Amino acid sequence: MILKTFGWSFAVTGAGLVAALVFWGWEALAIVAILSVLEISLSFDNAVVNAGVLKRMNEFWQRIFLTIGILIAVFGMRLVFPVLIVSMTAQLGPVEAVELALDEPDQYEQLVTDAHPAIAAFGGMFLLMIFLNFIFEERENKWLKWLEKPLSKLGQIDGFSVGVALAALLLTATTIASNAAQHGGHYVDKTDTVLLSGVGGVLTYLLVGGLSGFFEHRLEEDQERAEEAEEAAHRAGEPTALGLAGRAAFFLFLYLEVLDASFSFDGVIGAFAITNHIFWMALGLGIGAMYVRSLTIYLVRQGTLDDYRYLEHGAHYAIGALAVLLLISIRWHINEVITGLLGVALIGASFWSSVRQNRLDAAEEEGKKPAVSSGV
């Protein structure tokens, strides 16, 4: 089961790590490995959400999502999107950005370093919005109850997460960004750049979230129509109408792609906190994306989405930590190893909490069972 589900992921991992070692050396190998783990840890909630929706699709649409969908996820979001970020922030064409990275790596590094405040502000605010909307939402399971319970009450205020994010952006722009680090140890005032980029990150999150909500609403409407048509056809003794079901599945596929794109932003943007090398980034995130797809299949086939209740919490706390580190990195350099391993530590802590809570629940359930008489 494991080899069948994760076989392609193992193969891509081996090929990617060998390529990193052969072309760039041991440092590249280490960074690619850390990025792979980072992508997997940040995207575990992505796999959980994908699996919850994917199990409602038939086998044909599951194959579409796991074939065409992986092409969009790996080559679109993990390969093309980082190049576009570099192109926009450094004011270069995509082809020029790639050529510069290949032919003049020192100049490319200088351009990316100087553009880092804009990248960090955009990415930090996008990640912060993901974290805030999670932490302010009322949910049945709470990992850190002392923190999440009062915050969920504050989340009932309309637009509260956006207000907190904009306040954090204003604080960052007027303090940290006023003396932002640049290439060669220089410091310049990047207040305006950070403000504009940060607002762009917030707007991007709101746009992606709006599209996700739109597709989800269309899906619910089509499913209701399909159920009504199926019931009417059943009463009339006619075959079930497959057209509406197919359209519902199509919107479900679109909804999944928008969701996947929104979740992939955190991995792509978070990768800039570890490295500015677009090829190392692409290898690491591509490997991680393969495991996310394999994990989605595994969760669907095993039906274990609810077994580890706090993993989603750990993933979102990792996103929140990365958001803060990205904003801080506008002025101060943060060790890449600390940044990369922080998400893994939070995921591990949430996993252990889930296992421990499952054991407590099992012991409590066992204690409620009536004693069985052995008889005479």
pLDDT tens digits, one per residue of 104-122: 766 766 777 777 788 788 8
Residue 243: its pLDDT value, please?
A: 41
Cβ–Cβ < 8 Å for 264, 289: yes
Q: Is residue 157 part of a domain?
A: yes
Query: Per-residue pLDDT for 242 more than 50?
Result: no
Structural domain includes residue 218: yes
Confidence band, pLDDT 50/70/90 cuts, at residue 304 = low
Cα–Cα distances (Å) from 49 to 144, 292, 296, in that order, read 21, 11, 9
Higher pLDDT, 183 or 152: 152
Report the relative pairing of strands 180-181 and 187-188 from DSSP bridges: antiparallel
pLDDT tens column, 265-286: 656 766 766 776 778 888 888 8
| DSSP conformational letter for 372 | P
Q: How far is CA 49 from the centre of its chain?
A: 11
Structural contact between residues 29 and 21, judged by C-beta atoms closer than 8 angstroms: yes
**139-180, pLDDT tens digit by residue?**
777 888 888 888 888 878 888 888 999 999 999 888 888 777
| 368 domain-assigned | no
Task: Give the per-residue pLDDT at 174.
Answer: 87
The answer to whether position 232 is within a domain reads yes
Q: Is residue 109 part of a domain?
A: yes
- Give yes or no for a contact between 179 and 229, defined as CB atoms under 8 angstroms apart: no
Residues 6+ apart with CB under 8 A from 360: none
- Encoded amino acid at 75, one letter: F
Q: How much is the pLDDT for 374? A: 38
- Average pLDDT of span 349-361: 84
Angle at 181 between CA 180 and CA 183, to 5 degrees: 140
Q: What percent of the chain has pLDDT over 70?
A: 74
Residue 376 has pLDDT above 60, yes or no: no
pTM for the model stands at 0.70
Mean pLDDT of 90-106: 75
Residue 370 lies in a domain: no
User: Rounded to whole angstroms, how far apart are CA atoms 367 and 360?
Assistant: 11
| Residue recorded with tokens 């032919």 | 103
pLDDT of residue 307: 73
Tell me whether residue 97 is in a domain: yes
Q: Which residues contact 60 (CB under 8 A, 6 or more apart)?
A: none
Average pLDDT over residues 249-271: 68
* pLDDT recorded at residue 117: 83
pLDDT at 71: 76
Spatial distance between the Cα atoms of 238 and 183, rounded to a whole number of angstroms: 71
Q: State the pLDDT at residue 247.
A: 60
Provide the pLDDT confidence category of residue 199 given band limits of 50, 70 and 90: very high
Q: In this structure, is residue 96 part of a structural domain?
A: yes
For the range 295-298, what are the long-range contacts, defined as Cβ-Cβ under 8 Å and sequence gap of 24 or more?
295/40, 295/44, 295/47, 296/47, 296/50, 296/51, 296/54, 296/66, 297/5, 297/66, 298/1, 298/5, 298/6
| Residue pair 61/69 in contact by the 8 Å Cβ criterion | no
**Cα(50)–Cα(255) distance, rounded to whole angstroms?**
10
Least reliable range by pLDDT among 13-22, 63-72, 229-238, 309-318: 229-238
Q: Which residue has the tokens 């889930």?
A: 354
pLDDT category, 375, cuts 50, 70, 90?
very low
Look up the domain containing 99 and give its range: 2-357
Q: What is the CA angle 290-294-295, rounded to 5? A: 115
Give, for 345, the enclosing helix (H) or strand (E): helix 336-368
Give the DSSP letter of residue 332.
Answer: S
Average pLDDT in the 128-145 region? 83
Distance linking the first and last C-alpha atoms of the chain = 46
Looking at residue 169, its pLDDT comes to 92
In this prediction, residue 9 has a pLDDT band, given cuts at 50, 70 and 90, of confident
Q: 16 pLDDT exceeds 80?
A: yes
Per the structure, the count of domains in the chain is 1
